């Protein structure tokens, strides 16, 4: 009888506990689709245009930290920049476009690949300094 009672108490605790707010933010971050267009001059002047789309039926995510990277043929990073996309006001399945201008090192001018990725949010990364995670009250 005590085992059954203990099992029921454990189930109640697990069922009634609040979800981890960090995991909720992680889930929202993964519901944003991003597209990147860029132009880089031979002098290293780069223009990045990022389009972010809210893939959820509703989202409370106000910011999204990403890395924009230029890579060589071996997928080695030649240039990387961290950006925060302000998603405030992006409605259900809506889009928002961001434009950034930067100077990249001359060795990055001859990139072969480029991408935009979510900034890592795993243990050991600096995720607690990202705006979207800083909004979580402790």
Q: Which helix (H) or strand (E) holds 101?
A: strand 95-103
Domain CATH for 44: 2.60.40
Tally of domains in the chain? 1
Nearest to 45 by CA among 101, 110, 108: 101
The range of the structural domain enclosing residue 106 comes to 20-134
Residue 4 lies in a domain: no
pLDDT digits (tens, 9 = 90+) for 8-35: 565 565 556 677 888 888 888 899 999 9
Burial (CB count <10 Å: 0-12, 13-18, 19+), residue 72 = middle
Is-contact 79 70, C-beta < 8 A?
yes
pLDDT digits (tens, 9 = 90+) for 46-87: 999 999 998 876 667 889 999 999 999 999 999 999 999 999
Which two tokens mark 96? 């928002």
Residue 58 lies in a domain: yes
Residue 110 lies in a domain: yes
What single DSSP character describes residue 126? Answer: S
Residue 107 lies in a domain: yes
Residue 62 lies in a domain: yes
| CA–CA gap between residue 53 and residue 87 (Å, rounded) | 9
This prediction has a pTM of 0.80
- Whether 138 has a pLDDT exceeding 60, the answer reads no
Residue 11 lies in a domain: no
């Amino acid at each position: 009888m005590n085992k059954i009672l203990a099992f029921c108490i454990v189930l109640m605790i697990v069922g009634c506990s609040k979800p981890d707010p960090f995991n909720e933010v992680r889930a929202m971050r993964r519901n944003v689709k991003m597209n990147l267009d860029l132009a880089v001059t031979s002098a290293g002047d780069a223009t990045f245009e990022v389009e972010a789309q809210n893939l959820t039926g509703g989202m409370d995510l106000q910011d999204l930290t990403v890395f924009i990277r230029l890579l060589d043929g071996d997928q080695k990073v030649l240039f990387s920049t961290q950006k925060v996309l302000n998603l405030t006001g992006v409605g259900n399945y809506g889009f928002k476009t961001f434009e950034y201008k930067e100077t990249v090192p001359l060795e990055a001018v001859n990139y072969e690949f480029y991408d935009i990725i979510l900034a890592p949010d795993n243990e050991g990364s600096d995720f607690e300094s990202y705006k979207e995670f800083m909004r979580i009250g402790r």
